[in-house]
Amino acid sequence: MGMVSPVKAAQIVLSDLTGLWVQISVPEAWPWSNSAAEGLWHRGVLEEPVQAPHCEHAFCNACITQWFSQQQTCPVDRSVVTVAHLRPVPRIMRNMLSKLQIACDNAEFGCTAVVRLDTLAAHLGDCQHNPKRPVTCEQGCGLEMPKDELPNHNCIRHLRSVVQQQQGRIAELEKASAEHKHQLAEQKRDIQLLKAYMRAIRSVNPNLQNLEETIEYNEILEWVNSLQPARVTRWGGMISTPDAVLQAVIKRAWPRWRRGR
């Protein structure tokens, strides 16, 4: 936001609700061209104020950052200052600024509201005169757009664009579907060929399937025979409730060569 126009000397008076008045003088001879000043000092209230640590001159954060893109000096007294040197202004100044009454930014569009600076952002978000406020077309298409674009909006043009986008999307999906169907057909053909190949092998050698089962049985039998024989060292552990008669029956039924000694 910056200070006032640098055409001539001006005075800005800030007031808080306690009656404290602060007067800031703007020098008549500015050390830069009018074009640069107009870009830097575009309003009368500081926005996100920061100050140089030594000279304590205060500026808008955005304005002074733009100024530093051209030269690394204070715009008022030409002392050397960089963005890294900037610090927030004192709290008392922020409090005074926040209590200032300010017209809505949308005054030129018909808004007559005057609000405190610290509530301006919230007001702008809900301001009915904000040209960029999202509105919905009530003519049937339902498109949401900035308010200032509504007078030039054409539902037919918008819907035609939507239809074209949908047609393009449908064409892409149809192409992908055709590719998937082609891949599926190839996989089914491969499976049929594999089944036919297996049937041909079995017709040549009917015993092939029995041979495979025999090989599997022999492998299992060989694995079982490779295991160490079980040795019963405590007959009472073979049953949950030891009983002398039952243990004797088990011993007689168990092959002698497998009994523990």
* CATH code (residue 35): 3.30.40.10
Mean pLDDT of the chain: 73
Number of structural domains found in the chain:
1
By C-alpha distance, which of 14, 33, 10, 32 is closest to 23? 14
Is residue 210, in this structure, part of any structural domain at all? no
pLDDT (0 to 100) of residue 253: 65
Is residue 146, in this structure, part of any structural domain at all? no
Q: Which of 54-58, 144-148, 188-192, 246-250 has the highest average model confidence (pLDDT)? A: 188-192
pLDDT (0 to 100) of residue 121: 83
pLDDT tens across 178-222, in order? Answer: 999 999 999 999 888 888 877 777 776 666 666 666 767 777 778
Dihedral sign (CA 175, 179, 180, 184): positive
pLDDT (0 to 100) of residue 238: 59
Is residue 52, in this structure, part of any structural domain at all? yes
Beta strand pairing call for 114-116 and 101-103? antiparallel
77: Cβ contacts below 8 Å, ≥ 6 apart: 55, 57
Q: Which residues pair with 25 in a beta bridge?
A: 11
pLDDT tens across 108-158, in order? Answer: 888 888 888 888 888 888 888 888 888 888 887 878 888 878 888 888 888
- Interatomic CA distance for residues 160 and 180, integer angstroms: 30
Mean pLDDT, residues 160-165 taken together: 88
Structural domain that includes position 74? 10-99
Neighbours of 128 (CB within 10 A): 12
Half-sphere exposure of 130 (CA within 13 A, CB side): 16
Is residue 26, in this structure, part of any structural domain at all? yes
**Three-state DSSP state, 25:** strand
Is residue 71, in this structure, part of any structural domain at all? yes
The length of the chain is 261
